[in-house]
Structures are given as structure tokens and as C-alpha cells.
């Protein structure tokens, strides 16, 4: 005999619901039901892998979801040069509009190191300046944006540090919008957070993937400037994001590439040459792609658990995800585990597809995927009143027990007292 709960989640995917539920779940406090080890045991050969053949002092590779694959000196305080412009771009995106017109200030025109020759009084949009700042890494464009958004360079730096704090970047201290100030520090770990936010922004993602940009000039012909990311168009799947160089920082590169559904993020800091940073990134990402693969973590056909239903025609309801969940998983390390967070109980009526919680998958302590958990089927409420009473004669009084389904706890609370 087939348990109806085994097919409930599959049935949910195939049904066409006429209307969505009008209210969210009614429940007591949330709790984690289980941490279950999935059947994704790594093959014996994955027990220990040789590290990638890179020689830079600081490097890391991780999935775009933030799951670490390999790192060296991840938290080391470093100068990162123009890589800090990712933080500049995030602040600009948060505080202004792409079509706003910026009048190039004298402070931007005065920059003669890593500039594209912007002229005081020249009018460019925020979008144009973001492109000029991120593609050829122009310092005068960074300064023009900073003055436009912050009023002063110092005011904008305060915004940068506030944004870094909001992102949880404990080891990042911005000192200017372009990364030239010697007081500026960051870490490879913090750079991965910035890069993930840049790649999560559709506008910035498109910009850092551009191979060149046209820079207009009021006095001369427009000029074409190539991206400083020399792997764009020359490394399979390369999508972004930012380079940097100063003598103290060395040659730095934060790069993102995607192959076969796997999107990796690499950081190389302190390379000794321009060519060296790109060859190191190639080796780092090649190694990462060789050992990271897309895996099915949670199937939509799987019942993740049975949630108690209060005042329903059934005492429980199956919960599942609305779609299968896959993620990039590193071959080595621990097995994948899942944690299911749902209410202690839910009050009928329950509607199929009603959100009830969340399931998350973890690898080596890092969350690699998450998905909403929903009810797999309808559970109507019973037609009798919610509160039921049992009475019994106890000596000279009456003991009355009242079912209170909305009280905290999985099975509600029976309140009892003696009546004279």
C-alpha cells in the first residue's frame, strides 16, 4: 500500500492552484527539525586533494554562493589597490541613479595617475563614469563619482566605510575611492564579499564583463579604452570582476568565471607581474572547476518532514520544496547536510503551497543552498469548534481539561483546574 505522503510533493508540482493562500502560516515558535546527511558521500579519492599550483602570497577560490573551496592567507591584511573600486561602485549604486548627470570636478581633472583625461566641467552620466571606472580602472572617474555622491572625497570615504560595516567587512578600511591611499587595507575574504555583491547587481555585472568602453572628450575625439581584465574573452567562462595595482599592493585580481552551471570566484593578491596575476588566476580557477561540480541536493519529490496540524481533518501535513535544489559542491571535505526550519505546528486550514519554513544545505560549515518549504497538500479545518472540553467528577469538584491549540508547543496545551 502506498503512503499518500510519499506522492504528496510530486502531486503539488503538477496541480494548478486556482488561488494563492491569503494568509501566511499561523504557528508557534520556529525550531530546527533536523540536520540530515544527504547521500552525497565523496568518493575515496576526494579524501585529500593537493592544493592548486599557485605561488602568490594570498589567494582564494570559492563558489559564488560563498562556499569556500581553497584559500591561502584569507584574512591577511593587504593593500588591494583598485580592487577597492568595487566598494566605490556599490556605494554609488546605492546612493544615486544611473542617468544622473555628473559634472567632472577639478579634483578629478587634477588626477594624472591611472586616468583617462577627464576634463573639468565635462558632463557624463553615472552609468558612463561607472563604466570608465570599472573597465579601464580610471581613477579620475572614481573621484568624479565620489565628489558627486559624497559632496567631498572625505564624505564619500565615510560612506564607503559605512557600507563596509553594513556588509560585515571587519577588516576593510577605505581611505579614498580609487585605492591609492597607503592607509587603505582589506583582505581576500572581504574582497569576495564585495565581488559577490557586484556580481549580484545586474548593472555592475554587465559592466565588469565589458571588454572595452568609449570615453568621450569635449576637446578631442572619443577614445576606446580596453578592460584591464585580460582574461575576458580569453578564458572560458570569464565574467568579471576587478583588477588592481600599486607598488605596495603588487598585481591584484578578483575574477569570476562560470562553466556548466558552476560559478567560481577567485582572488589573487600580490602577484609580481601583470601577466603573473592572470596566469595565477587561470591555475586557481582551473583547479576549482576540476574539483567543484553541480549536484542535486534536494529533490522536489522528497518529503522533508511531517508537520503537526492543529484543528485539521488530518493530524499532519507533508512539507517539501516547490522545486529541486542544486548547488556547486566541492568534491573534498565533509558530506552535505541539510537543516529544516519549520513551525512547531500549523493551524488549519492549510493550503497546498503555503510557505511554512526554509531548508538549507551546508558543506564544511558553509551554506551552499537554501529554498522555501511549503505544504504539499490541503488540510481543511475540522467543522467542530476549536476548543473541546472533557469533564470528570473528582470528589466534590469537577476536573475540566480544555484543549488550547494556539498555545505554544507541538501538541498544544491541556489546561486543567478543579471547579467547586
Residue 391's DSSP bridge partners are 400
Measured from the Cβ of residue 157, the count of other Cβ atoms closer than 10 Å reads 21
Q: Using alpha carbons, list the distances in angstroms from residue 418 to 252, 282, 314.
A: 77, 78, 32
Q: Using alpha carbons, list the distances in angstroms from residue 410 to 30, 311, 405.
A: 11, 12, 9
Cell of 141: 572617474
Q: 5: exposed, middle or buried (C-beta count within 10 Å: 0-12, 13-18, 19+)? A: middle
Residues labelled as active-site residues: 82, 85, 137
pTM of model > 0.85: no
Q: Please state the domain extents for the chain.
A: 4-42+296-375, 58-290, 389-419
Name which of 17-26, 77-86, 136-145, 335-344 the model is least confident about: 17-26
Res 48: pLDDT? 59
> Where do runs of H (alpha helix) occur along 167-224?
188-200, 202-208
Between residues 33 and 304, which one has the greater pLDDT?
304
Question: Among 44, 47, 62, which Cα is nearest to 288's?
Answer: 62
Same fold, 4-42+296-375 and 58-290: no
DSSP H or E segment with residue 127:
helix 126-134
Q: Using alpha carbons, list the distances in angstroms from residue 141 to 129, 153, 362.
A: 5, 13, 41
CATH of domain 4-42+296-375: 2.60.410.10
Categorize the per-residue pLDDT at 260 as very low, low, confident or very high, splitting at 50, 70 and 90.
confident
Q: Using alpha carbons, list the distances in angstroms from residue 90 to 58, 101, 205.
A: 24, 18, 11
Cell of 371: 529554498
Over residues 113-148, the pLDDT tens digits come to: 999 999 999 999 999 999 999 999 999 999 999 999
Residues in contact with 321: Cβ distance below 8 Å, sequence separation at least 6, in sequence order:
9, 298, 300, 302, 304, 359, 371, 372, 373, 374
CATH of domain 58-290: 3.40.710.10
- The sheet carrying 397-404 orders its strands as 389-394, 397-404, 413-419
Rounded to an integer, what distance in angstroms lies between the CA atom of residue 381 and that of residue 376?
16
Rounded to an integer, what distance in angstroms lies between the CA atom of residue 307 and that of residue 111?
63
Rounded to an integer, what distance in angstroms lies between the CA atom of residue 243 and that of residue 86?
10
Between residues 240 and 221, which one has the greater pLDDT?
240
Rounded to an integer, what distance in angstroms lies between the CA atom of residue 137 and that of residue 208?
10
Over residues 372-414, the pLDDT tens digits come to: 999 999 999 998 654 443 333 333 333 333 333 333 333 333 3
Over residues 319-376, the pLDDT tens digits come to: 999 889 888 887 776 788 888 999 999 999 999 999 999 999 888 778 888 899 999 9
Amino acid at each position: 500500500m502506498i503512503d499518500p505522503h510519499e506522492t504528496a510533493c510530486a502531486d503539488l508540482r503538477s496541480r494548478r492552484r486556482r488561488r494563492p493562500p491569503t494568509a501566511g502560516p499561523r504557528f508557534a515558535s520556529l525550531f530546527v527539525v533536523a540536520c540530515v546527511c544527504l547521500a552525497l558521500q565523496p568518493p575515496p579519492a576526494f579524501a585529500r586533494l593537493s592544493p592548486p599550483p599557485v605561488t602568490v602570497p594570498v589567494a582564494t577560490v570559492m563558489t559564488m554562493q560563498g562556499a569556500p573551496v581553497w584559500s591561502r592567507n584569507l584574512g591577511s591584511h593587504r593593500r588591494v589597490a583598485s580592487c577597492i573600486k568595487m566598494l566605490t561602485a556599490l556605494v554609488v549604486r546605492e546612493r544615486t541613479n544611473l542617468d544622473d548627470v555628473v559634472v567632472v570636478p577639478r579634483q578629478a581633472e587634477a588626477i594624472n595617475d591611472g586616468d583617462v583625461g577627464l576634463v573639468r566641467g565635462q558632463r557624463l552620466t553615472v552609468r558612463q563614469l561607472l563604466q570608465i571606472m570599472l573597465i579601464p580602472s580610471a581613477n579620475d572617474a572614481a573621484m568624479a563619482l565620489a565628489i558627486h555622491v559624497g559632496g567631498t572625497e572625505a564624505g564619500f570615504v565615510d560612506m564607503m566605510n559605512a557600507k563596509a560595516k553594513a556588509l560585515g567587512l571587519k577588516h576593510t578600511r577605505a581611505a579614498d575611492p580609487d585605492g591609492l591611499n597607503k592607509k587603505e587595507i582589506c583582505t581576500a575574504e572581504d574582497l569576495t564579499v564585495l565581488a559577490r555583491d557586484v556580481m549580484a547587481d545586474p548593472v555592475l555585472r554587465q559592466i565588469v564583463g565589458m571588454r572595452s568602453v568609449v570615453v568621450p572628450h569635449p576637446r578631442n575625439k572619443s577614445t576606446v579604452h580596453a578592460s584591464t581584465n585580460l582574461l575576458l574573452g580569453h578564458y572560458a567562462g570569464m565574467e568579471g570582476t576587478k583588477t588592481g595595482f600599486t607598488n605596495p599592493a603588487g598585481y591584484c585580481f578578483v575574477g569570476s568565471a562560470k562553466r556548466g552551471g558552476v560559478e567560481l570566484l577567485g582572488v589573487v593578491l600580490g602577484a609580481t607581474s601583470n601577466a603573473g596575476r592572470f596566469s595565477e588566476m587561470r591555475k586557481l580557477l582551473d583547479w576549482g572547476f576540476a574539483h567543484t561540480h553541480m549536484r542535486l541536493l534536494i529533490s522536489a519529490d522528497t518529503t522533508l518532514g511531517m508537520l503537526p496540524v492543529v484543528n485539521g481533518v488530518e493530524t499532519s501535513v507533508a512539507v517539501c520544496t516547490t522545486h529541486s535544489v542544486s548547488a556547486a559542491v566541492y568534491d573534498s571535505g565533509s558530506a552535505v547536510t541539510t537543516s529544516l526550519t519549520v513551525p512547531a505546528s500549523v493551524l488549519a486550514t492549510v493550503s497546498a503551497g503555503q510557505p511554512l519554513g526554509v531548508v538549507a544545505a551546508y558543506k564544511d560549515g558553509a551554506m551552499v543552498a537554501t529554498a522555501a518549504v511549503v505544504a504539499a497538500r490541503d488540510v481543511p479545518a475540522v467543522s467542530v469548534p476549536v476548543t473541546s472540553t472533557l469533564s470528570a467528577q473528582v470528589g466534590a469538584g469537577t476536573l475540566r481539561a480544555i484543549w488550547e491549540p494556539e498555545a505554544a508547543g507541538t501538541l498544544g496545551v491541556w489546561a486543567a483546574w478543579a471547579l467547586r
